[in-house]
Structure 1
């Protein structure tokens, strides 16, 4: 039996009257009537504003009131369910998705296969579409009938129609299987709960519902057709009051109200005692923009910067700033999307010292512990690779001592030094993952003992997580992951503990859902995408609801009483937001199921914007920007609706003082620095910074003071010529480069390997009585080279050996490195007397610079010196990549000069450098001679000596400025994190 009820539409002129009507209807009557009243709002933030507005009105009237239960749409169902005599168990969102996935498997097994692969993300869309259908009042059978009738006639000619028909049959089969499972369980979801609420009267029913939110067409958080049907048929409900502005009614909502609430009574707000609204606010406009009164900024951050400046420089006069009173609570900044404004506000308002408050929930995925979960997932899915091990051990969110990981390794608590030592050791061992290989390294450990605590912690963590790589029931896998996280969480702040609890709650809920409804066998790699999506969809409530400027979304702002209102982010695509598209069907087919048109949504969005402009009591400011992530954006077309609101426009002619220090960085960067804004340790640190040496001091620009003369390698001097600071970092500070993990040898190891192969070949070539390589013995050289190459290749993994074999011996499409070297020599007829391989050149050598000869201590290793019968030296340097730039290359000319001096009496004769060349194994050319004509020899050698002596002098003077020969190198430099980059202004 349907309870007779009073249903009224309260028409209000604007949001002032809207809020007054809410207050009057919310606290009307006695205490029992208030306890049985629900006020429906769109969001949690809107509920907070309603309660605050009621409290403010009661305070001004000096009377006590009992606050009503202010609820969102989802909370409305929670409250109604709780009042039933025997409340049924409601399925969680996790359970529903798992059940839908199981139902999809049933549908496929029954022959209703979908025309797509059912990924976890699609399962969530299947659930969402089911909810939308049912909220539109459509049954599964009716949905299938409607779309089958529309599509069946076109399937012979239209492949798209045929796919959609198969999709429709699949979805219908899934939904029937899901509903059958739901019935067997005896649980309810939202739709089954509606039926239960209509059929069973509550012993203490809700008597009065005040609806302040529009329908889902006008507001994503609004009521649906099925919700309205519930309210009209709910047993025990005596009264329904809908409060709607005239603007929203005129957008098409008025007709929809009468469709969903037949026979509803209409009345003006004055009939319930709502007083007339105050005069409209003033619209503040920039100079020269009265026709389009919008402040335009560069980006979102600049919008908040402008607001902060206006607040800090305001003096209470009209147009001088928003801060016009003792409290900022009456000022609000309104956005359509909370992010990234909530993150930017922390930086901008925090730096300006402006108190602010928010009620919007932030994404849980943005919390640090969510990233820590990603570190664990990557650790497992990478098969415990080196970089994943280091990331896990360095994570501040985990602890390794006192966690029960003692086992055979003792108590585990690796220091940062131990982790760094393990990082280097694993790189040197070319460890690429897998627990067995990690265990073997521990058993055969030859590295630094300092790394062992970190190694043992890594093995213990891998032991605990290894089962996740094997197939097991989903609930078991999730429980293992939860147990690992819970047992190793480091002590954290209250906010971080709440984030940890939220992440663990998702894992536990998903595990329970799988255990109850569909415990399919899976691996962590299959679960991880679904797990990440759940975390991305979850929000995290930040407790920042104190005092100060209020940052609100557009829905919540409708419910608050404010003097000044700033609407920010007015760009196309946000004001209004683009509706979420249905991924299954086009708008034409959805219209048959009751989906609204774009015009309906657009009209409601325009009405909400116009209402918001009239909402504050004093001033309105509109703000937009031109760049979003460096992409150009257009102002929202809603700005064109400002004219019809007919607000009085005030031109903003007052600017803050040019030297006003609004932000913390301005206080510290402008002269003289005002460190009084800092407190505690920060102030002491700033005082120390002010007392430091002036920034122009040469020590800040690469001057390290006189260096003790020492022996230098030629390659190190080449590094100095490339960038003095890189030399300083690598050879003075002795910083280590970050290691890389590759499945094959890195370029440095490849170079050493190739040098080793050629050294062994030429040594064997000489031992077997050969000298020069000529066209006659070229085949013999190839055979010996192939034999020795195979000996070296046998030490490499099979896959890597195959790559290196092709590089050394060649293939049918390209010559190998051996052929390149042999042909180069075979083309030169001079007899080779002796070969000196990997020849060590170390000691003092005489070099001639601009001021005459001097002795320089050098060291280096020449790849190959061929002593020829004519008394000349042929110097060969192998380069696995292309040849170096001759303007910086010193090895060939300097090695040549050093070899002449070292071999002065070798075999009883003098030797001179006759030929020097780089043999490059990549690039358009293979042979790069140091000089092409003997006449150029002295010029090239003299230039190289001058460069080297100049570099040595610079090193000994301690001059190490960051001046790379080409800033392109900075993108690949391993020492960029410690470089001051003084060159930036000179590029």
Structure 2
């Protein structure tokens, strides 16, 4: 090419070359032969001859040269030996990038450097710093350009494009499909989707399925947001519209050719107006890529009948997008990786991230060529790789006129050491004066701590008398909820506020509890009639089939519940046999009780199960709870989780009053409650209070719990909703934690 174009410069200057490849040698040789005078600058350092000698030998073996040297005293910048090298340690990565941004901004404002393209910021591991640099530099108004090009497949428009195809292939999973529906790169997508899909995705619990998206009114029938409930019919209408648009691609899901898929996708992109505000040519670019993909059919042998469908098309599209790069365009500060600075001589260099392990870094493990094989073949082995990093580092130190070195001292709870390339005991502190961005200006005003805005809930007692006054019947479960945390009770039970959480693919605890209660109620009602386990199991299978058919659950969960319950049925049978051996027989489930256990305190509740003590084989009525001569009972509360009932916590802290308040209500109806227990279906065991070795009787527990009840209701009626948990474990997962005076307010 050089000969063909008759390229013959008068003077050629070569600088920064080392370890040239054979192809580079041919180009350099041709250039030098066509040049009158060539000036070659080489680095001479006894420590790095293994790196620089190859280029030196190439020049000496191919050309006649005149050697000369530069007086170190006249060289600019100063060599490393005469530089006072130092570095700055920052608390973390964010602080480091912020420190660099402040230094650059101060440099520009002071007039010392008005040309930002003279500044280079580099990191050994740029991918770790990329997004942070982008965010922080934007905050400080510093334009920057990253030297590493970004594959098209990693850009937002094409991520949204591939999300369409992934959605169709995998039956519209929640995250890819939501990404497509809310993407700003489809201008004709209904605006309704961008506004409501995030909430729908949050509350619906949809995993995948076209029918699930089309049946949102059923899925979200119990959603508490009136606005979302009202908009659902219109959302479903728009879903029908978008699925109609996607139907041509759906039909090609399993057997479509590349040409058919490319044409259908191109039509869809045109109808949805695929575009990007930062790249006006993206529509044409996408069309060209799809045109190239359609040609793949010509490479497939006609007699193979190979029609890979949408999955194969996605793999090919993703390969092309990741192989195609979006050239970095822009101006301002240049941000690059460490190895990209080979041969560079920046005027201003900010070299960050210089922590041990990142510089020098170890080469990636090569499973094909071990290190000893690379050594014999003359390839770059581990020792040479580490040596090359030291050479580049020293090159940059020697050649940069203005240098700023730094490293982050820690990340989360991990401490870091500075790079071994940095000099010993040369760490300095840095203070860049001035307010250099809007956030700093806001922070410069007198600081008002968040805790000063957090207040206790104050409410007049008359406002809650209707619900908890002397004439009202308080739910037994509300007593325990209030005692757990007064503030949490007010937010969740009175205001009925719930945190926004992503609905997981799981059975709702309330629904699972209802199913277990119903199954146990039906089984226990017939427990005395079962002659053996097999008879109980056969009846359980029939009951499960009937009950689960009525529940709004997918078949997967129905099968899961059925199999899980049947697997623990033998343990349940043994547990029930033990209760019968102790003289108890199932009496009734879901027992409604109410009464005035203390003057002016009326309670109501529903006991999961009441068993009666059998005396002289007397029969009992299961239709109505009433006092009789045979009045000894036990009460049971079912739990799908583990049984948690601590006798010490009950007596000393008033925890878990529910069972004993039920016992008090039963006592007021003329029954004698011998014991109360938590029946853990998960562990198939019952935890009883009082226990066999308990020094306290049930009457003792009832008396203790009634004292706690009196104090609790008194506080509730006064409007006391102070943030004070009964057990601090409650605070760990509380959604109110960030705004709770108990957690956030400073201690007095």
TM over 0.5: yes
Per the TM alignment, residue 753 of structure 1 is displaced from its structure 2 partner at its CA by 1.1
Q: Deviations over 1:27-63 (max 9, x none)?
A: xxxxxxxxxxxxxxxxxxxxxxxxxxxxxxxxxxxxx
Paired residue for 1:277? 75
Alignment of 1:918 with 2:678, yes or no, is yes
Structure 2 Cα separation of the partners of residues 873 and 591 of structure 1: 85
1:897 pairs, out of 664, 677, 684, with: 664
Mapping for residues 116-195 of structure 1, pairs under 5 Å: none
Distance 1:508 1:957, change over 3 A: farther
TM-score (norm 1): 0.58
Structure 2 Cα separation of the partners of residues 916 and 579 of structure 1: 66
Q: Deviations over 1:308-330 (max 9, x none)?
A: 5656788xxxxxx9957363746
Structure 2 Cα separation of the partners of residues 503 and 978 of structure 1: 47
Structure 1 Cα separation of the partners of residues 135 and 478 of structure 2: 44
Aligned with 1:611: secondary structure?
helix
Distance 1:434 1:295, change over 3 A: closer
Paired residue for 1:522? 308
Per the TM alignment, residue 929 of structure 1 is displaced from its structure 2 partner at its CA by 1.6
Per the TM alignment, residue 862 of structure 1 is displaced from its structure 2 partner at its CA by 1.9
Structure 1 Cα separation of the partners of residues 82 and 711 of structure 2: 65
Alignment of 1:735 with 2:491, yes or no, is no
Aligned with 2:368: secondary structure?
coil
| Conservation of the 8 A alpha-carbon contact between 2:144 and 2:330 | yes
Paired residue for 1:854? 600
Paired residue for 1:696? 452
Distance 1:332 1:944, change over 3 A: same
| Conservation of the 8 A alpha-carbon contact between 2:457 and 2:721 | yes
2:391 pairs, out of 607, 610, 621, with: 607
Distance 1:358 1:535, change over 3 A: same
Mapping for residues 615-654 of structure 1, pairs under 5 Å: 615-617=399-401, 619-627=402-410, 631-639=414-422
Distance 1:739 1:297, change over 3 A: closer
Distance 1:233 1:864, change over 3 A: same
Alignment of 1:808 with 2:565, yes or no, is yes
Aligned with 1:413: secondary structure?
helix
Paired residue for 1:708? 464
Distance 1:340 1:777, change over 3 A: closer
Paired residue for 2:588? 836
Aligned with 2:464: secondary structure?
coil
Q: Deviations over 1:915-947 (max 9, x none)?
A: 321211123x60112323694323322443454
Alignment of 1:754 with 2:527, yes or no, is no
1:228 pairs, out of 13, 25, 31, with: 25
Mapping for residues 719-734 of structure 1, pairs under 5 Å: 719-731=481-493, 732-734=495-497
Relative to structure 2, which stretch is displaced further, 950-959 or 501-510? Answer: 501-510
1:940 pairs, out of 701, 704, 707, with: 701
Q: Give the CA RMSD over aligned residues.
A: 5.1
Structure 1 Cα separation of the partners of residues 109 and 221 of structure 2: 68
Paired residue for 2:442? 668
| Conservation of the 8 A alpha-carbon contact between 1:773 and 1:822 | no
Per the TM alignment, residue 821 of structure 1 is displaced from its structure 2 partner at its CA by 5.3
Paired residue for 2:42? 245
Per the TM alignment, residue 836 of structure 1 is displaced from its structure 2 partner at its CA by 3.3
Paired residue for 1:494? 278
Paired residue for 1:397? 184
| Conservation of the 8 A alpha-carbon contact between 2:89 and 2:409 | yes
Aligned with 1:226: secondary structure?
helix
Q: Deviations over 1:277-313 (max 9, x none)?
A: 346289999xxxx8x8433333333333444565678
Per the TM alignment, residue 983 of structure 1 is displaced from its structure 2 partner at its CA by 1.5
Aligned with 1:637: secondary structure?
coil
| Conservation of the 8 A alpha-carbon contact between 2:167 and 2:176 | yes
Structure 1 Cα separation of the partners of residues 125 and 435 of structure 2: 30
| Conservation of the 8 A alpha-carbon contact between 1:916 and 1:931 | yes
Structure 1 Cα separation of the partners of residues 180 and 725 of structure 2: 35
Paired residue for 2:225? none
Alignment of 1:826 with 2:614, yes or no, is no
| Conservation of the 8 A alpha-carbon contact between 2:32 and 2:38 | no
Alignment of 1:508 with 2:290, yes or no, is yes
Structure 1 Cα separation of the partners of residues 486 and 218 of structure 2: 42
Paired residue for 1:264? 63
Structure 1: 5+ residue stretches without partners: 1-196, 218-222, 315-320, 404-410, 644-648, 674-689, 766-771, 905-909
Aligned with 1:734: secondary structure?
coil
Mapping for residues 25-104 of structure 1, pairs under 5 Å: none
1:927 pairs, out of 680, 686, 695, with: 686
Paired residue for 1:413? 192
Paired residue for 2:145? 358
Q: Deviations over 1:229-286 (max 9, x none)?
A: 3565699966896854324884433424644895134456899xxx95346289999x
Alignment of 1:870 with 2:630, yes or no, is yes
Paired residue for 2:620? none
Distance 1:718 1:267, change over 3 A: farther
Structure 2: 5+ residue stretches without partners: 223-228, 469-473, 614-628, 650-654
Q: Deviations over 1:399-425 (max 9, x none)?
A: 58x45xxxxxxx88347458746865x
Paired residue for 1:335? 123
Structure 1 Cα separation of the partners of residues 479 and 411 of structure 2: 46
Aligned with 2:455: secondary structure?
helix
Per the TM alignment, residue 751 of structure 1 is displaced from its structure 2 partner at its CA by 1.8
| Conservation of the 8 A alpha-carbon contact between 2:737 and 2:743 | no
Paired residue for 1:255? 54
Paired residue for 2:133? 345
| Conservation of the 8 A alpha-carbon contact between 2:355 and 2:408 | yes
Paired residue for 2:354? 570
Structure 2 Cα separation of the partners of residues 359 and 343 of structure 1: 11
| Conservation of the 8 A alpha-carbon contact between 2:44 and 2:52 | no
Alignment of 1:295 with 2:88, yes or no, is yes
Q: How many aligned positions are there? A: 692
Distance 1:437 1:420, change over 3 A: closer
Structure 1 Cα separation of the partners of residues 483 and 276 of structure 2: 49
Structure 1 Cα separation of the partners of residues 702 and 284 of structure 2: 70
| Conservation of the 8 A alpha-carbon contact between 1:305 and 1:348 | yes
Distance 1:620 1:809, change over 3 A: closer
Distance 1:929 1:613, change over 3 A: same
Distance 1:695 1:588, change over 3 A: closer
| Conservation of the 8 A alpha-carbon contact between 1:482 and 1:507 | no
Paired residue for 2:17? 214
| Conservation of the 8 A alpha-carbon contact between 1:294 and 1:623 | yes
Aligned with 1:325: secondary structure?
coil
Aligned with 1:837: secondary structure?
strand
Mapping for residues 421-570 of structure 1, pairs under 5 Å: 424=203, 426-427=204-205, 433-435=208-210, 450-462=231-243, 464=246, 466-467=250-251, 469-474=253-258, 476-477=260-261, 480=264, 484=268, 487-488=271-272, 493-494=277-278, 504=286, 508=290, 511=293, 514-515=296-297, 517=299, 521-522=307-308, 524-525=310-311, 540=326, 543-546=329-332, 551-554=335-338, 555-556=340-341, 559=344, 562=347, 564-570=348-354
Aligned with 2:127: secondary structure?
coil
TM-score (norm 2): 0.74
Structure 2 Cα separation of the partners of residues 503 and 817 of structure 1: 66
